[in-house]
Amino acid sequence: MAEERPGAWFGFGFCGFGQELGSGRGRQVHSPSPLRAGVDICRVSASWSYTAFVTRGGRLELSGSASGAAGRCKDAWASEGLLAVLRAGPGPGPGPEALLQVWAAESALRGEPLWAQNVVPEAEGEDDPAGEAQAGRLPLLPCARAYVSPRAPFYRPLAPELRARQLELGAEHALLLDAAGQVFSWGGGRHGQLGHGTLEAELEPRLLEALQGLVMAEVAAGGWHSVCVSETGDIYIWGWNESGQLALPTRNLAEDGETVAREATELNEDGSQVKRTGGAEDGAPAPFIAVQPFPALLDLPMGSDAVKASCGSRHTAVVTRTGELYTWGWGKYGQLGHEDTTSLDRPRRVEYFVDKQLQVKAVTCGPWNTYVYAVEKGKS
């Protein structure tokens, strides 16, 4: 097997606070651009106004409305309210313990943290032995029995029987993937983002019954939508479709916006809200989907299998098994990477990586931007 070449990180989308997003100037970058320190970065976590980068040497660097740097860092998770940092223990070696520190974003890495606690991992990290870059594992803590919340209390315990493997937080909801590949959701549900078929909130983690019997490999939480990827490469998506982030027809992207004079709202058999407007080819009202409260199976072009997914506030990005990147949803700041600011309600391949002969390995979305890790395709 040919040895994989070292890769690099790329960024595109909103950078109005000066956050590192490649070589872009101004407020936005419309096409993938290499990060200046992209070769050395192993983890990226992006909030709206700043981004946290962790290097392979354990250095944390902040860029944007929050700035600063720190050493002995294992992971970081950025949100507008706070920055969570997982640092190596104080001893000379890596040690079994790590120190979790939570900072207010505006004073991150300066003075004393808002809160700190030692955490003991269940096992060593699951980084690829070859050092492949990954998106951060926070807000789930290494013990897998608690997670970091952007609102107090910052430390939120999880029921031991959940056996959490991954946890993602949206604007108002949480998704948890357990060791058996089952998905749980809780929090606000007014946009159908919990996937239980209603718009009701859930106070405690609730099993997503619609996906029972299917083994999931990854979950991703957007602002008000959700995605999961099965072990066989299928994509399931649900929640709010305001900007086409579910890859379902949406009114906002309809070609003829002036026909939205008379609206009728009804429910599909799967519970999704369908609104109809004029403009269909046969003269009948054309349907669009505002909210999808049950998981819907999404097919990528050419039957591609997915392996990774990430969500921004209102956009979605998926990596295929062959290393291609597809994006869709809200594109106002170029966060879809298609060299424009168009929004899309269907998946579209980001041609930059194809043209550059790059294989995408990881993607992590900020609310209004996207970061991608890619390597050169091996020579046969």
Residue 97 has pLDDT above 90, yes or no: no
Return d(Cα 35, Cα 37) in angstroms, integer.
5
Residue 32 has pLDDT above 60, yes or no: yes
**According to the model, what pLDDT value does residue 25 have?**
59
Query: For residue 266, what pLDDT band results from cuts at 50, 70 and 90?
Result: very low
Q: Where are the domains of the chain?
A: 34-119, 160-260+285-379
**According to the model, what pLDDT value does residue 284 have?**
54
Residue 274 has pLDDT above 80, yes or no: no
Return d(Cα 33, Cα 371) in angstroms, integer.
9
Residue 116 has pLDDT above 90, yes or no: yes
Phi/psi at 274 (5° precision): -115, 125
| Mean pLDDT confidence for 339-354 | 96
**According to the model, what pLDDT value does residue 379 have?**
44
**According to the model, what pLDDT value does residue 251 have?**
85
Q: Could you read off the pLDDT of 34-70 as tens digits, one per residue?
A: 998 666 899 999 999 999 999 999 999 999 999 999 9
**According to the model, what pLDDT value does residue 91 have?**
55
**What is the DSSP secondary-structure string of 315-328?**
EEEEEETTS-EEEE
CATH no., domain 160-260+285-379: 2.130.10.30
**According to the model, what pLDDT value does residue 253 have?**
84
Any idea which residue has 């040895």 for tokens? 3
- Cβ atoms of 215 and 230 within 8 Å: the answer is yes
Calculate ∠ Cα 44-50-51, nearest 5°: 10
Return d(Cα 115, Cα 160) in angstroms, integer.
23
**According to the model, what pLDDT value does residue 119 have?**
85
SS3 161: helix
**According to the model, what pLDDT value does residue 287 have?**
81
**According to the model, what pLDDT value does residue 90 have?**
65
Any idea which residue has 């604007």 for tokens? 171
**According to the model, what pLDDT value does residue 23 have?**
57
Average pLDDT, the chain: 86
CA 248 to centroid of chain Cα atoms: 19
Return d(Cα 376, Cα 64) in angstroms, integer.
29
Return d(Cα 359, Cα 141) in angstroms, integer.
30
Radius of gyration of the chain, Cα coordinates, nearest whole angstrom: 20
Return d(Cα 355, Cα 338) in angstroms, integer.
12
Residue 259 has pLDDT above 60, yes or no: no
Q: Sheet harboring 216-221: ordered strands across?
A: 216-221, 225-230, 235-240, 286-298, 273-277, 264-267
How far from 264 is each of 141, 191, 270, 273, 284, CA to CA, in Å?
46, 18, 18, 10, 12
Return d(Cα 102, Cα 355) in angstroms, integer.
41
- Cβ atoms of 101 and 107 within 8 Å: the answer is no
Q: Which CATH number, 3.30.310, 2.40.10, 3.40.50, 1.10.3470, labels domain 34-119?
A: 2.40.10
Residue 1 has pLDDT above 90, yes or no: no
Q: Could you read off the pLDDT of 198-248 as tens digits, one per residue?
A: 999 999 999 999 999 999 999 999 999 999 999 999 999 999 999 999 999
Name the CA dihedral angle for 62, 82, 49, 217, rounded to a multiple of 10 degrees: 90
Lowest pLDDT segment from 9-13, 45-49, 92-96, 163-167: 92-96
Among residues 361, 359, 353, the alpha carbon closest in space to that of 376 is found at 359
How far from 204 is each of 185, 201, 207, 316, 373, CA to CA, in Å?
8, 9, 10, 26, 34
Long-range contacts: 53-60, Cβ < 8 Å, 24+? 53/20, 54/136, 56/131, 58/88, 60/85, 60/109
| Mean pLDDT confidence for 102-111 | 90
**According to the model, what pLDDT value does residue 135 have?**
40
Return d(Cα 353, Cα 339) in angstroms, integer.
12
**According to the model, what pLDDT value does residue 255 have?**
54
Query: Positive or negative CA dihedral for 312, 314, 315, 316?
Result: positive
Residue 196 has pLDDT above 70, yes or no: yes
Q: What is the DSSP letter of 217?
A: E
